[in-house]
Amino acid sequence: RGHVVLTDKALIFLTNKFELYPQKTIFLKNCKAVSLSTHVDTMCVIHQAEAGKDMVLDFGVTGVYHTLPEFVANLYLGCKHLRNKVYVNVYIERIRYNNSRKPNVFDELSFSA
């Protein structure tokens, strides 16, 4: 658990004690897409330009499903402000991602109703 702060240039992850996770900072200029499912969940994947650096997020707030669309909208607008074209992908069954720090090593998030 922790906190997510969206600034005009980066997505910053903090611990519960508000300490910085420098290795988990995502610069908006490096974002290329955000993927989420069509199911009622709080999962999303932020795809980055650099291979192996995709970030899987679970907001994990049961019953508060408006948090994810609001986050994705603000992330999209922040990237747009930097003139970075970010695609928002909505998937029905599975999302492919790579956070292995190696190119061409993919995992999948699967969803079912």
Each residue's pLDDT tens digit, 36-50: 887 777 888 999 998
Q: For residue 55, count CB atoms less than 10 angstroms from its CB and return exposed for 0-12, middle for 13-18, buried for 19 or more.
A: middle
Task: Give the separation between CA 5 and CA 82, rounded to whole angstroms.
Answer: 17
Mean pLDDT of 55-73: 76
Give pTM, 2 decimals.
Answer: 0.81
